[in-house]
Amino acid sequence: MTKAAGPRPEADTFRSGNDKQGEVAVIAAVGLLGGHSAAAQDKAVTGSNAWVRLPSEGQTSTIAVAAINNPGMYAIYVLTATSDAAGKVEFRDASKGDQAVEEVDVLAYESTYMDPKGVHMYLSDLKRPLKEGDTVTITMKTDQGVLIPVTATVKKE
């Protein structure tokens, strides 16, 4: 059996400079398959079970944890967070020496539970003294711009 020399005819047709329909179809298909968005998910991503560790007297930082619930069909990636009680919020991993974490992954149809001894939120530059029972608003944001608000109660660990 011998192979035909040159490119396959369908490859020539697809790459034709005169016919952009094939290229548009491929771009559209990639957009549908690979360009999914957490914002377009069928169910809302939520946060729950949030709490903030009561800081010691005079302490200007503390930690917070929450569960991130993803009932949708695509993984989400939480990149940032803000809080009404702190000037800065970072994701950190206590199991790795409190190393900064760039994103918190939440698989499709799963929940991710933050943990003081694992991935958690580090609240620094506290704007006010926190007392046991106070509530703190934290808003996490995904790579797709989806906001995940949680209300966290301050408590002793």
Exposure string over 69-78, b if 16+ CB within 10 A, otherwise e: bbebebebeb
Contact 74, 41 (CB under 8 A): yes
pLDDT for the residue 31: 41
CATH number of the CATH domain containing 85: 2.60.40.1890
Same domain, 23 and 45: no
Residues 6+ apart with CB under 8 A from 128: 85
Positive or negative, the CA dihedral 96, 100, 103, 104 is: positive
d(CA 122, CA 114): 11
44/70 Cα distance (integer angstroms): 7
What is the block-wise mean pLDDT of the chain (157 residues), using blocks of 10 residues? 40 42 40 46 89 96 98 96 98 96 97 97 97 98 97 95
In a domain, 4, yes or no: no
pLDDT tens for each residue of 35-81: 444 455 568 999 999 999 999 999 999 999 999 999 999 999 999 99
User: Tokens 């991130």 identify what position?
Assistant: 68
Range of the domain at 90: 41-155
Q: What is the mean pLDDT of the chain?
A: 82
pLDDT of residue 99: 96
Distance CA 140, CA 149 (A): 6
Q: Are residues 47 and 34 in the same domain?
A: no
Are 70 and 49 part of one and the same domain?
yes
In a domain, 65, yes or no: yes
Q: Report if residue 144 sits inside a domain.
A: yes
| Domains: count for the chain | 2
Q: What is the pTM of this model?
A: 0.74
**Together in a domain, 99 and 110:** yes
